[in-house]
Amino acid sequence: MGCYDCCMRCLGGVPYCSLVATLLCFSGIALFCGCGHQALTETERLIETYFARNLQDYITLAYIIQYFQYVIYGLASFFFLYCIVLLAEGFYTTSAAKQTFGEFRSTMCGRCLSSSFIVMTYVLAVLWLLVFAFSALPVYFFYNMDATCHTIDVLTETPASINQLCVDARQYGLLPWNAVPGKACGMTLSTVCRTREYQMTYNLYIAAFIGAGINLLALLTYTVSTTYNFAVLRYLGRKGIGARC
């Protein structure tokens, strides 16, 4: 066998769908976890500076933010390992389905393992869909805040009506109802929107939302590729090609 034939045979066993899904998963989870972690830190700083004067008013929010940051650490570690395992499983199923390496065949244990990964990935995709929806909430909050600031900039010639335009963090459950001031109005709100902290936090939440979408796409790609490979392995097993464990 020539060098070209050998290379083409090895490339034939590469699970390209799983490889693309792994790259999407790594980039998506890195974007979501990195930007989400920093966005939570900046959110706490914004609330502390402009919406709450008393530590007791936002101490609960600070604990929740810290809890979510620990969750982000766990998510990053879990998906890094899980994507590597799925990529290895993709190499196994693709090589077994295409019978790339001679005696390397599908086994009953291998098919059971593949079916387990299909179920786990499907469940993770459904759960991550909820995370994707949840990550849209801060983007919605900052979008409303940005729209209100834009309205204030348009109505700068009528200061009486400007003072009636407010963003109340208490309405979104970020602060208790007895928090002081709990909201920003008029030119104060416009000043907040011009700060570097606000712009960076808004962009970080958008990036985290995009990262969650990329990771959801990766999980769906994993589900499709593993399901297809499992179907091929079952077909080969029925023909008697696969070996039993």
Name the nearest CA neighbour of 75 among 118, 25, 122.
25
The vertex-97 CA angle with 18 and 86, nearest 5°, equals 30
Task: Report the pLDDT value the prediction gives residue 6, as an integer from 0 to 100.
Answer: 62
Q: What is the DSSP letter of 244?
A: P
Task: Report the pLDDT value the prediction gives residue 187, as an integer from 0 to 100.
Answer: 85
Q: Return d(Cα 215, Cα 29) in angstroms, integer.
A: 6
Largest alpha-carbon pair distance within the chain? 84
**Reduced to 3 states, what is the DSSP secondary structure of residue 73?**
helix
Cα torsion 41, 42, 47, 50: sign: positive
Name the nearest CA neighbour of 131 among 62, 197, 78.
78
Task: Report the pLDDT value the prediction gives residue 203, as an integer from 0 to 100.
Answer: 96
**Reduced to 3 states, what is the DSSP secondary structure of residue 67?**
helix
Q: What is the DSSP letter of 68?
A: H
Task: Report the pLDDT value the prediction gives residue 173, as an integer from 0 to 100.
Answer: 84
Task: Report the pLDDT value the prediction gives residue 243, as an integer from 0 to 100.
Answer: 36
Q: Which residues of the chain have pLDDT under 70?
A: 1-14, 93-111, 157-160, 233, 235-245
Q: Return d(Cα 147, Cα 190) in angstroms, integer.
A: 10
Task: Report the pLDDT value the prediction gives residue 165, as an integer from 0 to 100.
Answer: 85
Task: Report the pLDDT value the prediction gives residue 188, as an integer from 0 to 100.
Answer: 87
For the entire predicted model, the pTM comes to 0.84
Element (H, E) at 183: strand 183-185
User: CB–CB of 225/141 below 8 Å?
Assistant: no
Task: Report the pLDDT value the prediction gives residue 97, as an integer from 0 to 100.
Answer: 52
**Reduced to 3 states, what is the DSSP secondary structure of residue 185?**
strand
